[in-house]
Amino acid sequence: MTVGHSIALTALASVVLGGATAPAFAQEGYPSKPVRFIVPYPPGGSSDVLARVMAQKLTDALGRQVIVENRPGATGNIGHELAAKSPADGYTLLLTTKSQMVNNQYLHKRLPFDPLNDFSLVTMIAYAGHVLVVHPAVPARNVKELIALAKAKPGQLNFTAAAIGSGGHLAGERSAVVTASARKRPLRICGTAGTMSENTISICPPTTSETASTVPL
């Protein structure tokens, strides 16, 4: 699978100010108290690790503690709503991706936040692709073999992604592998480590713990 061939196979990560309408870093004496850094994803994933590295660097640079707060759930909407409703004082940061800022508005009838007006962009911090991997027990070592296996065993392969509505999820739903399998089992989500099992294929960021014990195709 070619990374970057489709927009659904790329991931952008950005830091935004929650509830802010103007840059707050120019305030005199800022910061005068700890800064909250909301991560709308479970602990242990690549986004969480990235945020914690950034938080430590910001703590060193600002002289005030930047505290990571994991608020996963509802495909990231819980953390985004919390950030959007925070005071516009520059003391709430949010790690976000295009899954929440772009995809979710087309996947949900109503969002508890406005992606365009509730946040102020600080910077883009990462750009990554996704990889298609399988559990070592899956008897396929390339995409062609995997499609053949899916056709031969309809409904027997499980598909996982980082979250419902994520780039990996949308790419997987459109892939020949998932289509060929006529999947009847519920989608399993690989938000944390240890979710890969036998008969499982996954499309997820290459830095997640999920890929550590898998076979890339």
Rg of the chain, C-alpha, whole Å: 19
What integer pLDDT is reported at residue 38 of this predicted model?
A: 94
Strand 158-161 and strand 188-189: the pairing is parallel
pTM: 0.72
| Count of C-beta atoms within a 10 Å radius of residue 28 | 5
Q: Where are the beta strands (DSSP E) in the chain?
A: 10-18, 35-39, 66-70, 92-97, 119-129, 131-134, 158-161, 188-189, 200-204, 215-216
Q: Write the CA distances from 145 to 19, 77, 152, integer angstroms.
A: 48, 37, 10
Q: Write the CA distances from 50 to 37, 102, 146, 170, 196, integer angstroms.
A: 12, 21, 32, 23, 22
CA 195 to chain centre: 16
Q: What is the DSSP letter of 105?
A: H
Retrieve residue 42's tokens.
């479970």
What integer pLDDT is reported at residue 7 of this predicted model?
A: 23
What integer pLDDT is reported at residue 171 of this predicted model?
A: 78
Q: What is the pLDDT along the chain (217 residues), one digit of tens a residue?
A: 322 222 223 345 777 777 655 555 556 788 999 999 999 988 887 888 889 999 999 999 999 999 999 999 888 899 999 999 999 888 999 998 887 888 888 888 889 999 888 988 888 888 777 777 777 778 888 888 888 888 887 777 777 777 777 777 777 777 766 666 645 454 555 544 444 555 566 665 544 444 444 555 5
